Structure 1
């Protein structure tokens, strides 16, 4: 029986943060079935056309979501109220024209850049249920591109032609594809058992990796053209947050409370573990040689990097409160992340910082009395 909800991958991590440091698996995902062939349905819906895009502005840019820091911890991390996208350019933050109504950034990473950096797809509940919208990078011309159910986990294909997302339309969570203008929407996983979510693109835009929340099960990869899906990790492990390597030949993912590295055929190449510690939110560097991740191996959730070859680990931060959501800059020279400056039962404050991969030059990028989450760099321009 498929789940009737799309789960937030980060919520369990954050709940773990608030549970007095007790190690526990951060993300509870997958139960993938055996390899299957899926007939991809014909387009089932259309949506409002997206207006012409603007040329990308010069300079590095980061998106992040902002939430009311006065909310209780669970509410803040689950459904940020009054949330909005923030555009950061050269150290200056500007709201991207979203309404003050609740925007519901709670279904996984709440937004993604188009590969040319000119547009953003994001999740909003401005019309009631959670839906996907596409807007220009300056916040103009936002257009809704989904209808029905709760929609989240948007992922723009590297070739710019598709947006993958998870949706509960029909009462079950599945992975869908749609054009950036909301046309040609089709379900990729409706014929598979489970409740599929967390789509992640291969670099050639030919395949998607996905996971299934709530139960132990593998990461699966589905080929877009044929609809063929196959498990590529152990069905006995809870798996989450898959991400392909830059060359598309291997991927990393959360396996229970560790970080695993498999090739695209399902062979386990490595499992990075530090005993009972929680290792979570792995992010591959642009050159494919390092992984940034969050771990409580030293007692608090800190930011680390690790080499793929050799597994050498370097701790980058020292903070009495948690860090989360690491994100590499496109040139690999910086890592952005959210860091708590206040962490109490009834009040938290997370700000966005950047740091060099060697742990030097840490500096604040976005600070306010509210919570800033999910930093995401624009593509290399």
Structure 2
């Protein structure tokens, strides 16, 4: 086997990649905006959207953080505030600052919109006339201030902030006057999403919230009940809890509306304070209800990137068909440097080129002579984890072209891609080539390890984990064995070998220590791996306890019973006088 190129070659490749750029295509740019043609609207009169230029008659998606008044809807699109008629139509931009505007809220009288602005290097509360105008800053603290709503009299803005928290991980509630001045902190030790009662004497709130988390169906300690706190009497009570996470309390009359994923998907519910009964209002199954916001007679929310309104009287939901005629400047085709977007790379067998994944494309770069080749050039498709075949012919990688990650091959000089797997349904890792250029090893988020023959294209499951991700390791030089690490009940990984011929798994280590990253030596005699089995306690400098550093070492096991250990025990022994005389005599003869 030829020696691996030095790190100098890698540095040269990285410098070369600085000159490499990808072109974002117009088709991908349009798809990135989330726009698609609007279906015909049933109306007796032409709507604003219908009379707009053709390029503006598009139904817009990716609208976030909506709020609703008696005649308008305000929302965030591409980091700016937009407002549209409540019935839908062409939206009008309210802000255009390079900083993000978030969480807009109409005042109850409809005259103002409060929002969180990331202006001047900080995150603060701003207010703007609902018809548009210059934003006015109301808070000036270096902490993050997030707008929640208004007091019912439209005189003060409610916001949450970590400005007074001993730990920045939790927030407290504050009120700031529409006219400005020092904010007033409410007597709640920890709070997040909050809504005032109609008389402003009580609040419905959650002590923590997970609206920015990407996990689903969370049932842990960060899923508190919705509480009701009386600001005058200093009393507290909780709404009945379901099995899911309850968020976004919205107080209207004698009812508290909220969203919950107790049925598996976030939907709208209502809790009647008189009857103490909870009732489900929506029944979405595909997408969660996100960022609901209460208006005078309706709740607006996002679902699947579109905006909907729930009429409180009839409890019927209707879509709000909004068209944003934006210049979508960030979606224009452009040439982008990919030097800062490199995620994975691999060297060619001889080290004369390297393959990189950057911005979802697969690119090869020469060490000295030649030009870069973008092998995939596929805007809208994400390729990753490229790896060169040992014979230098193919480059294997993962691609989500079908909507799920599958393994593909492509000739290293360019050409049509070859699909190897067709059973994707979960995030995958790898692949790793076998030395005979015929098989690929990969693993997935369901804790499974696989290999696939590139000709047969029939994946074979090697093992199934129970306690954590299986880490695909290495192929034996003869391509007949695969080594890998799998976590056990104590969450420490053990090393295993899988025989492709016997279809059998053999444990190499017992999992008492944490053993990972198995690698075969080039002759197939030894298996090297990392293990955390060094325990050298070091006294702490600031407290009276021991710390353990540098616990990991490189270890090896022999793969044949009759193979001598490269680390066989040795012992220097003192020889007796007779042995010394014999040795001296032999040396002189």
Q: State the TM-score, normalizing by the size of structure 2.
A: 0.37
Counterpart-to-counterpart distance in 1, 2:39 and 2:159: 28
Aligned to 2:76: 123
From the CA coordinates, give the structure whose radius of gyration is larger.
Answer: 2
List aligned pairs for 1:230-309, cutoff 5 A: 230-235=184-189, 237-240=190-193, 242-256=194-208, 257=223, 258-264=225-231, 267-274=234-241, 277-285=244-252, 288-297=253-262, 300-309=265-274
**Structure 1: which 5+ residue stretches go unaligned?**
1-70, 340-347, 369-381
> How far 1:155 sits from its partner (Å)?
1.6
Equivalences for 1:1-381 in 2 at 5 Å?
81-82=34-35, 96=49, 105-106=63-64, 108-109=65-66, 111-113=67-69, 115=70, 117=71, 119-125=72-78, 130-134=79-83, 139=89, 142-190=92-140, 192-212=141-161, 215-225=169-179, 227-235=181-189, 237-240=190-193, 242-256=194-208, 257=223, 258-264=225-231, 267-274=234-241, 277-285=244-252, 288-297=253-262, 300-309=265-274, 311-316=276-281, 321=286, 324-325=289-290, 330=296, 365-366=318-319
Residues 174/265 of structure 1: CA separation in 2 closer, same or farther (3 Å cut): farther
RMSD: 4.7
8 Å Cα contact 1:218/1:238 also seen in 2:
yes
Q: Is the 8 Å Cα contact of residues 220 and 229 (structure 1) preserved in structure 2? A: yes
- More displaced, 216-225 or 304-313? 304-313
| Aligned-pair CA distance for 1:275 | 6.9
| In structure 2, distance between residues paired with 1:253 and 1:88 | 39
Q: Distance in 1 between matches of 2:207 and 2:128?
A: 29
Which whole-Å CA distance do the structure 2 matches of 1:124 and 1:160 have between them? 21
Q: CA deviation at 1:150?
A: 0.9
State the SS of the aligned residue for 2:241.
Answer: coil
Distance 1:123 1:356 in 2: 23
Deviations 1:13-37 (A, max 9, x none): xxxxxxxxxxxxxxxxxxxxxxxxx
Q: 1:324 deviation in Å?
A: 2.1
- Residues 215-274 of structure 1 deviation map (CA, whole Å, 9 limit, x = unaligned): 212121222335232222533x3512x222222322222322321223456935322252
Query: Is the 2:139–2:180 Cα contact (8 Å) retained in structure 1?
Result: no
Secondary structure at 2:153 match in 1:
coil
Structure 2: runs of 5 or more not aligned: 1-27, 163-167, 209-222, 322-589
Q: What CA distance in whole angstroms lies between the structure 2 residues aligned with 1:179 and 1:136?
A: 16
What per-residue deviation string (whole Å, max 9, x for no partner) do you get for residues 73-106 of structure 1? xxx9xx9723899999999997846575977534
Give aligned pairs, total.
Answer: 265
TM-score, normalised to structure 1, is: 0.54
Mapped to 2, the partners of 1:350 and 1:238 lie a distance apart of 29
Once the two structures are TM-superposed, the CA of residue 279 in structure 1 deviates from its matched residue by 0.7
Whole-angstrom CA distance in 2 between matches of 1:132 and 1:144: 5
- Partners of 1:189 and 1:94 lie apart in 2 by 39
